Amino acid sequence: MKLWRSGRRGIPAQCGTEPRIARPEEIANAIVWLLSDAASFAVGSPLVIDGGYTTR
């Protein structure tokens, strides 16, 4: 098993359900949602955006 992707220093090869790094717009969409009225009932809840890494 390869521990690190070639050319991507410090990024685990097997890091969850998504085998890639998040695109900036994916992180931005979560931030926009958190700042919107749609997230008004989300109080004190962590929003994990890690492509499934923590589910491993």
Residues 6+ apart with CB under 8 A from 26: 49
Cα separation, 55 vs 35, in Å, equals 26
Any idea what DSSP says for residue 38?
Answer: G
User: Reduced to 3 states, what is the DSSP secondary structure of residue 27?
Assistant: helix
Q: pLDDT, tens digit, for every residue of 27-50?
A: 999 999 999 999 999 888 888 888
* Contact predicate 43/9, CB 8 Å: no
pLDDT above 70 as % of the chain: 66
Model pTM above 0.75: no
